[in-house]
Chains A and B, each alone.
Chain A
Amino acid sequence: MSTPFRFSLTDFPPEAETLRSEVRAFLETNLDNVPQEIKAETWSGADPEFSKKVGKKGWIGLSWPKEHGGAGRSAMERYVVLEEMLVAGAPVGSHWVADRQSGPLIIRYGTAEQQEKLLPGILKGETSFCIGMSEPDSGSDLAALRTKADKKGDVYVVNGTKLWTSGAHRSHYMIALFRTSKEEDRHGGLTQFIVDLSLPGITIRPIIDLTGGHHFNEVIFENAEVPASMLIGKEGGGWNQVTAELALERSGPERYLSCYLLLKELVREFSDRNDDEGVTEIGRQLSHLATLRQMSVSVAGMLNDGENPALEASVVKDLGTVFEQELPNIAHRLMRVEPDSQGTDFQRYLAILTQTSPSFSLRGGTREILRGIIARGLGLR
């Protein structure tokens, strides 16, 4: 056996670096009113007005094909936009999911009608998506999901509950995975739908997280009638479609940059101290950050070349979340100040990120599930 991973270094083309300067200039003038708490939330922080501005710049759907209204630019250029937004703490939450995976899903599997109806709104930063996968009895074990969609004429009647649905309360649509038939193979009989969340029979209830914030939701379907025309892809083919999305979902810069602002503030704090231990720890974190970035960019390169780097994406997400999760603890150890939501910038970042960091290794596939996938790649299962 040799190592099963295919990471190879990928360099940014010159046009990506030109774009980087444009994005930096844009961010310099468009983030003045964003409070520290929202900046610290990175891609969970949402501001529909900001997303419209990004759409106007043409930076949503940047790498989508031109025939679908995208800019037809490379995955590397898209990567530049993402990472610059994240390190600046831009409130990208309104368009993040649609740009990353719902749009690409609709382009890949959607009907012409779905594409015409939905893609323009995404590109303008006006249409927001969320992902409906987890359920009360189906977390890591996604195939155990029970929400049913029964075909009745030209609609599917949906009954059940989606749980931990991030951003459902501020989204227009959900890409949902429902059970359309009972099969021997538990991965069979699952189908993806584009669900208009304003339909009758859908109730969205907030779930307040431990910070007191509202990101999660419980979405209840009671005889909600989803038009059959909003089934996306193949009936019964949902499992494969969902797993294909995972490489997009797991390898991006949002998987290691969630605490970047804390690292940046540490650098600021230690600039006028004579503290070798702190400086050395900052350097160590930098070495992890720079390496993760090369790994993540390498996966973007593979996606650009049409490969499916699902295994490599799991590696990036596992290492990335370990890294970003460790930063609040390191910051705590080095700075000896209390997290305080009314304190200095540093204390405010620390207050938010200390509390949100446990979610980093839960959202988008738990650490244990990722490591199981990696172990399979190693030939152990």
Chain B
Amino acid sequence: MSMNETTQLFFDTTQKLFSDQVSKECIEESEKGIWPEKLWNEAVENGLNLVIVPEEFGGVGGTWMDAGVIFKLIGKFQAPIPLAENILSSYLLSLGNINAPDDSILTMLNGSFEFNDGFLSGEAPRTPFSSHATHGVLLFENNKDIHVALIKIEKKSIKENTNLALESRGHISLDKRKPINFSKINAKIDLSFKLGALVRANQMAGALESLLEQSVQYANERIQFGRPIGKFQAIQQQLAILSTHVAASGVAADYASFSMDKGNPDLAIAVAKSRIDDAVSIGASIAHQVHGAIGFTYEHGLHFSTRRLWSWRSEYGSGSYWSQYLGKKAVENGAEKLWPSITEGNLNL
């Protein structure tokens, strides 16, 4: 994939960091709840968490395409840190001219929140990395205006849970909580949800790449009937199918990021989350089949990718959710506007 120089720089920095630090041990420890402090600190030192925050707010001023390569690498290496969530949260705060506190670890709360007399109440189910986050960012509506708020995460308000990949996904209850700061922004209330879908789409595209790499490598190494199983056409055809879905997922994820940069992401985000969902179903099944029994063990690392994929495809709207969103818009627009909506990348014709 060709990238511009800045994007390439983000790619190189992130890839180096993850190659050095995200070992199998690191992921295993994180599944036991151990915080990978060194990895997190280096990500922050490199400014990766502020990639989309404008420079005037102390950020990097990058694009969503820049962030996209980071999201993908998080998925590809299964980096067990809330870097994607911090990129999003910092971005949302920057829309309201709010700075994140020093040394904070942010998460994004999705739910519906009420704002009364300066106090927030509501429920945020399955909040990513709730067990390690120090602060949370959320959107709420008040008098028809959308606001972004920064709150402190308090352990007592969390009922901890995890997703299949044992990533922390706690339920946070806010009962008349005073935000640290809040501010009106020019956005729709579902912005955080849509951005979550954009991020998971990219992470899945990355994790699918790792499925392909692992599967091709295994097929070239594993000997049966006197030769590597990758020499058999049955296996080659399966891996070819897997690779086409990996390629499609990368393009769909890029399309979402690219459209976000152009300020018109509704169609592309829905397309990406829906399309990649199908790729996950097909891809995970092929990767496990090619690996045979060894890929089904905890000892082998394949499941670090597949368990994430099986979780991420449900988060921020499953494939069917976004398919229905697309389909509804399409039938509302009518048959004659179907093609123009695709060429313009716009569902709101």
Complex contacts, B267 vs chain A, CB 8 Å: 290
Task: Indicate if the CB atoms of B334 and A7 lie closer than 8 Å.
Answer: no
Whether a CB of chain B sits under 8 angstroms from the CB of A26 is no
Task: Indicate if the CB atoms of A279 and B328 lie closer than 8 Å.
Answer: yes
Whether a CB of chain B sits under 8 angstroms from the CB of A271 is yes
Whether a CB of chain B sits under 8 angstroms from the CB of A72 is no
Task: Indicate if the CB atoms of A381 and B236 lie closer than 8 Å.
Answer: yes
Task: Indicate if the CB atoms of A281 and B323 lie closer than 8 Å.
Answer: yes
Pick out which of these stretches binds chain A: B171-179, B186-194, B211-219.
Answer: B211-219
Task: Indicate if the CB atoms of A380 and B230 lie closer than 8 Å.
Answer: yes
- Of listed A6, A294, A368, residue having the most chain B CB within 10 A: A294
Complex contacts, A83 vs chain B, CB 8 Å: 343
Task: Indicate if the CB atoms of B320 and A280 lie closer than 8 Å.
Answer: yes
Alpha-carbon gap, A287 to B278, bound state (A):
10
Alpha-carbon gap, A315 to B332, bound state (A):
33
Shortest Cβ gap from A380 to chain B (Å)? 4
Alpha-carbon gap, A375 to B327, bound state (A):
34
Complex contacts, B320 vs chain A, CB 8 Å: 280, 284
Task: Indicate if the CB atoms of B278 and A288 lie closer than 8 Å.
Answer: yes
Shortest Cβ gap from A283 to chain B (Å)? 3
Pick out which of these stretches binds chain A: B36-44, B100-108, B246-254, B295-303.
Answer: B246-254
Shortest Cβ gap from B221 to chain A (Å)? 12
Whether a CB of chain A sits under 8 angstroms from the CB of B164 is no
Number of A-B contacts (CB under 8 A): 179
Complex contacts, A225 vs chain B, CB 8 Å: none
Shortest Cβ gap from B272 to chain A (Å)? 8
Complex contacts, A295 vs chain B, CB 8 Å: 247-248, 251
Pick out which of these stretches binds chain A: B50-58, B91-99, B129-137, B237-245.
Answer: B237-245
Q: Which of A2, A284, A290 contacts B255 (CB 8 A)?
A: A290
Whether a CB of chain B sits under 8 angstroms from the CB of A92 is no
Task: Indicate if the CB atoms of B335 and A264 lie closer than 8 Å.
Answer: yes
Query: Closest B-chain residue to A292, C-beta based?
Result: B248
| Contact size range, B | 35 or more
Given A8-B3, A287-B271, CB of A270 within 8 Å of CB of B331: yes
Whether a CB of chain A sits under 8 angstroms from the CB of B140 is no
Whether a CB of chain A sits under 8 angstroms from the CB of B209 is yes
Alpha-carbon gap, A270 to B333, bound state (A):
11
Whether a CB of chain A sits under 8 angstroms from the CB of B1 is yes
Whether a CB of chain A sits under 8 angstroms from the CB of B285 is no
Task: Indicate if the CB atoms of B275 and A288 lie closer than 8 Å.
Answer: yes
Complex contacts, A33 vs chain B, CB 8 Å: none
Shortest Cβ gap from A252 to chain B (Å)? 16
Interface residues in B305-347 (C-beta closer than 8 Å to A): 319-320, 322-328, 330-332, 334-335, 338-339, 342-343, 345
Query: Closest B-chain residue to A298, C-beta based?
Result: B251
Alpha-carbon gap, A293 to B255, bound state (A):
11
Interface residues in B6-28 (C-beta closer than 8 Å to A): none
